[in-house]
A = this chain, B = another copy of it.
Amino acid sequence: MTDYRFLKACNREPVDATPIWLMRQAGRYMEEYRTLRQTYGILDIIKTPELALEVTMQPINAFDLDAAIIFADILPPLEGMGLDLEFIKGTGPVIHNPVRTPADVEKLATPDAREALSFTLEAIRLTRAELDKRQIPLIGFSGAPFTLASYAIEGGPSKNKVHLKSMMYNEPDAWDKLMTKFATIAGDYLLAQAEAGAQALQLFDSWVGELNPDDYRQYVQPYSKQALDMAKEAGVPLIHFGTNTNGMLEEIRDAGGDVIGVDWRIDIDVAAQRLGDGVAVQGNLDPVALHAPWDELKARTKKILDRMDGHDGHIFNLGHGILPTTPVDNVKRLVDFVHDYTS
Contact = CB atoms under 8 A, between A and B. Distances in A.
Contacts of A296: 169-170
Interface string A160-180: 111001100110000000000
A116 B323 CA distance: 39
A170 B293 contact: yes
A110 to B, nearest CB: 28
B291 A212 contact: no
Q: Which of A264, A265, A303 gathers the greatest number of chain B CB atoms within 10 Å?
A: A265
A68 to B, nearest CB: 25
Contacts of A166: 288, 291-292
Nearest to A208: B265
A301 to B, nearest CB: 12
A146 B211 CA distance: 25
Nearest to A266: B247
Count identical subunits in the complex. Answer: 2
A244 interface: yes
Interface in A157-214: 160-162, 165-166, 169-170, 209-214
Nearest to A264: B212
A285 to B, nearest CB: 8
Given A244-B265, A247-B266, A160 B289 contact: no
A160 B210 CA distance: 17
Nearest to A213: B267
A166 B288 CA distance: 8
Interface string A305-343: 000000000000001000101000000000000000000
Given A211-B265, A325-B162, A289 B169 contact: yes
A263 B212 CA distance: 9
A255 B258 CA distance: 36
A250 to B, nearest CB: 9
Contact of A248 (B165, B266, B289, B323): B266
A146 to B, nearest CB: 14
A58 interface: no
Interface string A99-134: 000000000000000000000000000000000000
Interface in A233-276: 244-248, 263-267, 270-271
A80 interface: no
A300 interface: yes
Contacts of A213: 265-267
A303 B247 CA distance: 16
29 contacts: A160-B323, A161-B288, A165-B286, A165-B291, A166-B291, A166-B292, A169-B289, A169-B293, A170-B292, A170-B293, A170-B296, A209-B244, A209-B265, A210-B265, A212-B264, A212-B265, A212-B266, A212-B284, A213-B266, A213-B267, A214-B303, A244-B265, A246-B247, A246-B265, A246-B266, A247-B265, A247-B270, A248-B266, A248-B267
Interface of A: 160-162, 165-166, 169-170, 209-215, 244-248, 263-267, 270-271, 284, 286-289, 291-293, 296, 300, 303, 319, 323, 325
- Top 8 closest pairs, chain A to chain B, by CB: A247-B266, A246-B247, A169-B292, A247-B265, A246-B246, A212-B264, A165-B288, A169-B296
